[in-house]
Structure 1
Amino acid sequence: MGLDKILAISGKPGLYELTAQTRGGFIAKSMLDGKKIAVNMRHNVSILSEIAIYTYTEEVPLGEVFKKIKEKENGEKALSHKASKKEMENYFSEVLPDYDEDRVYASDMKKMLQWYNLLVENDFTDFSKEDETEEKKDSKPKDKDEEE
């Protein structure tokens, strides 16, 4: 499962895992307490695989930022989202040196750190999109038996 099954729902704390679709929306399971909720089309929902962070040269997908944090922290939890603004800015300067300081706010950094730590707590460390993992499976070299 990649980041395309992980959701942020405005007005609701934490992250949610997409579990099923319904006629008017979908069912999502909270990563905080495991409770399932029905989400309809009126909710403002963001899929983590579709979020990108501004840099001075391009927009970097959130999954790439999470991969860099994972490398820096060796798969462990990152800086707390309750850290000071200065600490978060220094941390992001290490992780993503060319992030756009004018367009990436402290609240964005706080949210990213909180999300990353929540994902790590839930043993979720595959920060790729689902279709990328499918491509990798398809691009494996075929056995000699399969070629014939």
Structure 2
Amino acid sequence: MNLHGIVAVSGKPGLWKALAQNKTGYVLESLDDKKTKLVANVATAKLAALSEITIFGLEDDIKLTDIFEKMKSVTVPATKDDGKKLRAFFFEVAPDHDEEKVYSSDIKKIINWYLILKDLPLFNEADPAEALAAEEAPAAAPAAAAEPVDEAKEEAAPKAKAKKAPAKKA
């Protein structure tokens, strides 16, 4: 899932796509049908990239992207449903979340974000950072394993010291 460039703005409902950056902040466009444009000043507005958001877990924090992946395979309730039903749903997609730190308002916000994103083409695209890492990992592994280095031979070989050339006088 490719969520790069998708941000949540504090004090503004919905999700926003970063279009450009200027001296004072970012030019954003809403992901709803209205396609509202906004200039978010970095000094006053707080932006949170969806690809970087985590949820409190019992042991480790849970990435929002992992929760979205699990939400793809289950029936998502409406945000207006009962709090107990929403909490039960969230235990299904994030079983090790910290119940005391993750509020029902957070769950409603995550469900609302999912409902906004699920129909967008970028939601089903591969993450470019993960695709790049997957391409580099197999290429680096065979090169490293191709020729084992004998450490004893490497230590026995004396290293030559680089000699400095004498300075020329004018």
Q: TM-score, normalised by structure 1?
A: 0.82
Q: CA RMSD in A?
A: 2.1
Percent of aligned pairs with the same amino acid:
32
TM-score where L is the length of structure 2: 0.72
Contact 1:24 / 1:40 at 8 angstroms: preserved in 2?
yes
Q: Do the aligned partners of 1:17 and 1:28 also contact (CA within 8 Å) in 2?
A: yes
Q: Does 1:64 align with 2:63?
A: no
- Segment drifting more, 104-113 vs 126-135: 126-135
DSSP 3-state at the match of 1:101: coil
Listed as ranges, the matches of 1:17-56 within 5 Å are 17-32=17-32, 33-41=34-42, 42-56=44-58
2:51 alignment partner, SS class? helix
Tell me the CA shift for residue 2 of structure 1: 2.2
- Structure-to-structure mapping, 1:93-104, within 5 angstroms: 93-104=91-102
Letter in 2 for 1:36: K
Give me the whole-angstrom Cα distance separating, in 2, the residues matched to 1:5 and 1:98. 28
Say whether residues 1:5 and 2:43 are aligned partners: no
Partners of 2:126 and 2:86 in 1: CA distance: 24
Aligned AA (2:18): L
- Report what 2:89 is aligned to: 91
Instruction: Decide whether the 8 Å contact of 2:7 with 2:17 is kept in 1.
Output: yes
Relative contact order: is structure 1 or structure 2 higher (C-alpha 8 Å, sep ≥ 6)?
1
Task: Give the structure with higher Rg (CA).
Answer: 2
Flag structure 1 segments of 5+ consecutive residues without an equivalent.
142-148
Q: Call closer, same or farther: CA 1:61–1:127 in 2, change over 3 Å.
A: farther
Q: How many residues end up aligned between the 2 structures? A: 137
